[in-house]
Chain A
Amino acid sequence: QKEVEQNSGPLSVPEGAIASLNCTYSDRVSQSFFWYRQYSGKSPELIMSIYSNGDKEDGRFTAQLNKASQYVSLLIRDSQPSDSATYLCAVNPRGDDKIIFGKGTRLHILP
């Protein structure tokens, strides 16, 4: 059973601090990894994709991938109240068309 695990939260972070979101996956040969943001009542929005070990930065967001540990993370710097949402980790195993979503971590940025 291919799984993607996330802490459901809520994770509360003060405004301006760094929010750190974590995800582990079970399929060792997974190749593609994604982070989506979902506001309440809205559909998911792709914010980052990462394919190689290491860090990938895009604005205030940094995705980190460690395939040996089967671990993906998302850092959000200078957190803003507008970052309050559920963050979904997703993994594409074995080049299948489908991606497997975690259940999401609720992030709450405290003003």
Chain B
Amino acid sequence: GAVVSQHPSRVICKSGTSVKIECRSLDFQATTMFWYRQFPKKSLMLMATSNEGSKATYEQGVEKDKFLINHASLTLSTLTVTSAHPEDSSFYICSAAPGHTYEQYFGPGTRLTVT
């Protein structure tokens, strides 16, 4: 199956700082990647769709200036949480879909804790 990696797996940062999370498709090219957030015992929530070479499409209620997404190549998308606050503490998961299918393959996730 398709493999997606994420880095880092865990990060602790201070309030007000920024954190960058990388998502890579390791064995396929992905023109589209997705970023999700999941709070403990809650549903998966789509934050944005990342498009290679163009601007990301954000879901309603997600601040694009706070959650910066860059999809610079067909195998890499990054999510930067800017000016992080404790309420941004969550499990951030990316996914990617090989171009010929709508199946999404998820990275292992990044657990962000903002102190």
Interface residues of chain A, those whose CB is within 8 Å of chain B, are 32, 34, 36, 42-46, 49, 88, 90, 92, 95, 97-99, 101, 103-104
Determine if A92 and B102 form an interchain contact, defined as CB atoms under 8 angstroms apart: yes
Which residue from B43, B46, B105, B109 sits with its C-beta under 8 Å from A46? Answer: B105
Q: Nearest residue in A to B43 (C-beta to C-beta)? A: A103
User: In whole angstroms, how far apart are the Cα atoms of A10 and B43 in the complex?
Assistant: 15
A99 to B102, CA, bound (A): 8
Whether B43 contacts A42 by the Cβ 8 Å rule is: no
Q: A44-B44, A104-B43 are in contact. Are A99 and B104 (CB under 8 A)?
A: yes
**Chain A-chain B contacts (Cβ-Cβ < 8 Å), number:** 41
**CB of B103 closer than 8 Å to a CB of A:** yes
Does B75 interact with chain A (Cβ within 8 Å)?
no
Q: Which 4 A-B pairs have the closest CB atoms?
A: A43-B106, A43-B109, A92-B102, A103-B43
Mask, B33-64, CB within 8 Å of A = 1, is 01000000001101001000000000000000
Scoring B91, B93, B101, B106 by chain A CB atoms within 10 A of each residue's CB, the highest score goes to: B106
